[in-house]
């Protein structure tokens, strides 16, 4: 019996090694970009994070567990930056310097793939404000495709596909897609450090 156990134990690393090699091969073949994306930190268009820009009516409702809808603007804490705006799932929201607090977005195409706009679902006209959010600073702007993007103090709000968990702000002060990206506080102050 001890001998059989030893054989099984030696087989597990081999199986795991083969599985890991297959996974690495699959990842390396699918992670390359055929569009010749420059090495400016532009991420791949896809993300393992669930879509935050769904326009279906289903995303407009709060879940039975009481979770906030994705498009709700909340506050969250990011290490070294403090309290900033986040979406209903707790992911950090960003503003794009070229938007110039104009109330209109300048981020389209590849930019919007890397920095998805925070959108209201079809049929929803009011942006819900979480605790600590100044509801009077919330607004919306219509995008070229007819979707409605959430704004805060006239800054269109975006997410960053590289952030993989609440509390991250890997897009802070990043120069990408034609300009700088920053987090914003509940007071409407853009943090540029």
Q: Would you mind telling me the total number of residues written for the chain in this entry?
A: 193
pLDDT of residue 122: 94
Q: What is the pLDDT of residue 66?
A: 64
Long-range contacts of 100-105 (CB under 8 A, 24+ apart): 101/153, 101/154, 101/155, 102/154, 103/139, 103/141, 103/151, 103/154, 103/156, 104/141, 104/156, 105/141, 105/143, 105/149, 105/156
Question: Helix, strand or coil for residue 111?
Answer: helix
Maximum CA extent, the chain: 74
Domain boundaries, the chain: 1-32, 57-191
d(CA 92, CA 77): 9
Render each residue's pLDDT in the chain as its tens digit; 193 residues: 444 443 333 333 333 333 333 333 333 333 333 333 333 444 544 344 434 433 322 233 333 346 889 999 999 999 999 999 999 999 999 999 999 999 999 999 999 999 999 999 999 999 999 999 999 999 999 999 999 999 999 999 999 999 999 999 999 999 999 999 999 999 999 999 9
CA separation for the pair 51, 44 (Å, rounded)? 14
Rg, C-alpha atoms of the chain: 21
Which residues make beta-bridge pairs with 86?
Answer: 74, 92
Which pLDDT belongs to residue 73?
98
**pLDDT for the residue numbered 47:** 40
Give the pTM: 0.70
Q: What is the pLDDT of residue 31?
A: 33
């Amino acid at each position: 019996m001890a001998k059989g156990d030893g054989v099984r134990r030696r087989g597990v690393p081999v199986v795991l090694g083969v599985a890991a090699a297959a996974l690495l091969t699959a990842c390396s073949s699918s992670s390359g970009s055929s569009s010749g994306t420059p090495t400016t930190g532009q991420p791949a268009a896809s993300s393992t994070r669930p879509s935050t820009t769904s326009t279906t009516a289903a995303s407009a409702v709060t879940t039975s567990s009481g979770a906030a809808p994705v498009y709700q603007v909340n506050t969250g804490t990011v290490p070294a930056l403090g309290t900033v705006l986040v979406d209903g799932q707790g992911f950090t929201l960003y503003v794009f310097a070229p938007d110039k607090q104009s109330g209109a977005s300048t981020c389209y195409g590849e930019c919007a793939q890397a920095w998805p706009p925070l959108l209201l679902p079809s049929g929803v006209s009011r942006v819900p404000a979480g605790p600590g959010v100044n509801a009077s600073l919330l607004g919306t702007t219509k995008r070229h495709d007819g979707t409605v993007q959430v704004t805060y103090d006239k800054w269109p709000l975006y997410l960053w596909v590289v952030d993989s968990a609440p509390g991250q702000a890997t897009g802070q002060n990043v120069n990408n897609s034609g300009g700088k990206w920053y987090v914003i506080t509940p007071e409407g102050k853009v943090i540029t450090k």
